[in-house]
């Protein structure tokens, strides 16, 4: 059914910390690795070793430059995967019932056997979180690694999404946002977590944590002299002066 | 947005077909005899069905297309499929009865007309519902689709109904009126689309990343060096380059030529066959208009890519 549940028992999702993401793309690669062998059809690539490679990925890292009015520009790496929105427009537009939001945990999934590959859900998502598989011609999206988080065949420590498990900087955190005392809820409260494009009224579950404010030291850092003049004293000064005289 | 030929053809062709069906259902005067009934039905149903078939070429899995009839409670695309098939089914009964008994069942015809209009409306709503594409996300979108569909339908019905005769002035004035109203609405739509930017809706790279409060946000690196499904499908740019010229071409073929043909017919009492020429010109103008509808539209995801 592509009508949305009125509420879900849990709200599973991710917190992505833009302060610590180093833009290494490890989560992107591990997401592809896990999901190409897990839920649904493999995640295909076309022309993978050619001049114009292209393929379906469920998680991508963009890099932005932010220039404050009174400080130098800074770089923010920006991981983006499905936000498992509460009012997911991608679900309601689906004509086949392939796209759905689960009532128990709020995960948004595609039943690939029902998907006709019309692409309308990708048009409805403001965040670019859905990509058509170029070989299977069905819609692909982040599954929140449903085949890991409940998987009793893997060690407990691995029962989190692949991207969360692999991030070397711990920039991605997984948890239940319906519980105000969960780690993710507290992180969002402490750090001022925010929604992407709230004006699209999608009510994303995933939250982003802003970069921590940069310090603006009042003393400018010791300036490095631009001229070649050397003011060395002692032995080095003697060498300098001796060489000068040669 | 990527202007896929299959979808452009679908919206124009089935728009014209369902417009024609709507007029036939209203019981407008048509020539007597089974042959006329057959030809009119074949053209109307043909245009509608060819359009629908072409839209299934756009699908990744056309063999599963029947599943698209199941989610009419929430999905406009599903509603469109249901309306189209029900309307064509009703017309099947209406048209066969017309061909074999040379009589048209009025109440069934009204149902066909209602269903046809509803089908065109649902087609337009597939696009108009998308908050992600501000240019489409307006009540004017279905109004334009409906006006163009009705204009096509009235033109076709006039070309057939008065076959071999001189078109009556009243028919021609209705067509003229419709052409003017439909294209005037389209010009207003264009104006509105130009104003309905993502920025006007409060979205920019700052809200897309949530970092706008810190400073000016600008993309430094895309996630991949190459293209991906999103950039091909939604971050398409060619249309915006020649938009103004193409709008003129759409207006020229879609409005000016058909209007001139109608005026000439009023002045010189020409055969109604010329209306078919006007229709073909309108159709071409609508193809250009529909190409622009997609190619010019900007999707919210472009904020992450440029
Ligand atoms: S991020 Fe996009 S694909 Fe994911 S639930 Fe929200 S609208 Fe749907
Ligand atoms: S592409 Fe598949 S999942 Fe997306 S709307 Fe179409 S049928 Fe539904
Ligand atoms: S939760 Fe799983 S599917 Fe989603 S981005 Fe992370 S690794 Fe990929």
* Higher pLDDT among residues B22 and B306, named by residue: B22
Average pLDDT (B25-34) is 88
Split into its structural domains, chain B has a count of 1
Please tell me the distance between residue B303's alpha carbon and the centre of ligand 2 in angstroms: 23
Average pLDDT (A17-40) is 94
For A199, the token pair is: 């004006």
The C-alpha atoms of residue B147 and residue A114 are separated, in whole angstroms, by: 35
Residue A64 lies in a domain: yes
B203·A122 Cβ contact <8 A: no
Q: Which residues touch A113 (CB under 8 Å, ≥6 apart)?
A: A98
Instruction: Pick the ligand that lies closest to the CA of residue A96.
Output: 2
B209 closest CA partner among A87, A25, A107, A66? A66
**B225: confidence class by pLDDT, cuts 50, 70, 90:** confident
Residue A219 lies in a domain: no
Model confidence over A30-82: pLDDT tens digits?
999 999 988 889 999 999 899 999 999 999 999 999 999 988 999 999 999 99
Average pLDDT (B25-50) is 91
Cα Rg of chain B, angstroms: 21
Residue B290: predicted pLDDT: 96
The C-alpha atoms of residue A75 and residue A56 are separated, in whole angstroms, by: 26
Residue A67: predicted pLDDT: 94
For B175, the token pair is: 């067509």
For B166, the token pair is: 């001189």
Q: Range with the lowest mean pLDDT among A162-166, B22-26, B107-111, B243-247?
A: B243-247
| Residue carrying structure tokens 């299959």 | B6
Average pLDDT (B107-130) is 97
Average pLDDT (A152-172) is 96
The answer to whether the CB of B31 falls within 8 A of the CB of B171 is: no
The C-alpha atoms of residue A13 and residue B146 are separated, in whole angstroms, by: 42
Residue A97 lies in a domain: yes
Chain A residues within an 8 Å CB radius of B1: 123
CATH of the domain at A187: 3.30.70.20
Size of interface A-B (CB pairs under 8 A): 193
The C-alpha atoms of residue A196 and residue A78 are separated, in whole angstroms, by: 11
Residue A223: predicted pLDDT: 56
Chain A residues within an 8 Å CB radius of B197: none
Residue A220: predicted pLDDT: 57
B218 CB within 8 Å of a chain A CB: yes
CATH of the domain at B65: 1.20.1630.10
**Which DSSP helix (H) or strand (E) runs through A103?**
none
B1·A123 Cβ contact <8 A: yes
Residue A150 lies in a domain: yes
- What's the domain range around B298? 5-304
Picking from B61, B203, B227, the nearest residue to A197 by CB comes out as B203
Helix then strand count (H, E) for chain B reads 12, 1
Residue B175: predicted pLDDT: 94
- Please state, rounded to an integer, the average pLDDT across all residues of chain A: 92
Q: Give the gap in angstroms from C-alpha A32 to the nearest C-alpha of chain B.
A: 14
pLDDT at A232 over 80: no
The answer to whether the CB of B84 falls within 8 A of the CB of B52 is: yes
- What's the domain range around A18? 12-209
A66·B215 Cβ contact <8 A: yes
The C-alpha atoms of residue A154 and residue B91 are separated, in whole angstroms, by: 59
Interface of B with A in 140-199 (CB under 8 A): none
pLDDT at A221 over 60: no
Residue B169: predicted pLDDT: 84
Split into its structural domains, chain A has a count of 1
Hey, how many other C-beta atoms are within 10 angstroms of the C-beta on A83? 26
Residue A80: predicted pLDDT: 97
């Amino acid at each position: 059914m592509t009508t949305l549940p009125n509420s879900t028992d849990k709200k599973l999702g991710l917190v992505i910390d833009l302060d610590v993401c180093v833009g290494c793309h490890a989560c992107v690669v591990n997401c592809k690795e896990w999901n190409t062998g897990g839920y649904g059809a493999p995640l295909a690539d076309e022309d993978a070793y050619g001049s114009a490679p292209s393929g379906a990925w469920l998680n991508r890292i963009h890099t932005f430059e932010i220039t404050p009015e009174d400080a130098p520009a800074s770089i923010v790496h920006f991981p983006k995967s499905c936000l498992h929105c509460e009012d997911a427009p991608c679900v309601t537009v689906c004509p086949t019932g392939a796209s759905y939001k689960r009532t128990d945990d709020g995960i948004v999934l595609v039943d690939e056997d029902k998907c006709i590959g019309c692409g309308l859900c990708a048009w409805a998502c403001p965040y670019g979180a859905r990509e058509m598989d170029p070989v299977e011609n069905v819609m692909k999206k982040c599954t929140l690694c449903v085949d890991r988080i409940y998987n009793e065949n893997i060690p407990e420590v691995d029962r989190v999404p692949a991207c969360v498990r692999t991030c070397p900087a711990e920039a991605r955190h997984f948890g239940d946002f319906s519980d105000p005392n969960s780690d993710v809820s507290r992180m969002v409260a402490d750090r001022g977590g925010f929604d992407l494009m709230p004006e699209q009224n999608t009510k994303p579950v995933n939250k982003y944590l802003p970069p921590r404010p940069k310090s603006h030291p009042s003393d400018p850092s010791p300036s490095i002299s631009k001229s070649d003049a050397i003011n060395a004293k002692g032995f080095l000064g003697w060498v300098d002066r001796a060489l000068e005289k040669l | 947005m990527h202007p896929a030929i299959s979808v452009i053809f679908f919206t124009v062709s089935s728009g014209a077909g369902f417009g024609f069906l709507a007029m036939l259902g209203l019981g407008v005067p048509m020539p007597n005899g089974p042959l006329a009934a057959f030809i009119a039905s074949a053209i109307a149903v043909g245009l509608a069905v060819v359009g629908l078939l072409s839209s299934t070429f756009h699908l990744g899995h056309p063999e599963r297309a029947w599943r698209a009839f199941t989610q009419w409670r929430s999905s406009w695309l599903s509603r469109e499929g249901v309306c189209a098939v029900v309307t064509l089914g009703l017309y099947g009964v209406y048209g066969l009865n017309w061909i074999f008994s040379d009589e048209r069942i009025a109440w069934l015809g009204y149902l066909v007309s209602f269903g046809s209009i509803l089908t065109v409306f649902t087609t337009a709503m597939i696009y108009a519902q998308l908050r992600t594409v501000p240019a489409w996300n307006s009540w004017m979108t279905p109004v334009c689709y409906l006006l163009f569909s009705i204009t096509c339908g009235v033109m076709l019905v006039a070309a057939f109904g008065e076959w071999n005769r001189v078109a009556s002035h009243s028919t021609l004035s209705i067509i003229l009126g419709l052409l003017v109203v439909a294209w005037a609405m389209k010009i207003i739509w264009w104006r509105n689309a130009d104003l309905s930017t993502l920025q006007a809706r409060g979205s920019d790279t700052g809200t897309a990343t949530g970092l706008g409060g810190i400073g000016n946000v600008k993309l430094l690196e895309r996630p991949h060096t190459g293209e991906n499904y999103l950039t091909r499908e939604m971050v398409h740019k060619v249309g915006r380059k020649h938009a103004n010229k193409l709008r003129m071409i759409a207006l020229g073929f879609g409005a000016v030529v058909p209007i001139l043909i109608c005026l000439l017919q009023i002045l010189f009492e020409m055969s109604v066959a010329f209306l078919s020429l006007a229709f073909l010109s309108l159709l071409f103008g609508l193809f250009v208009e529909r190409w622009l509808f997609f190619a010019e539209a900007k999707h919210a995801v472009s904020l992450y890519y440029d």
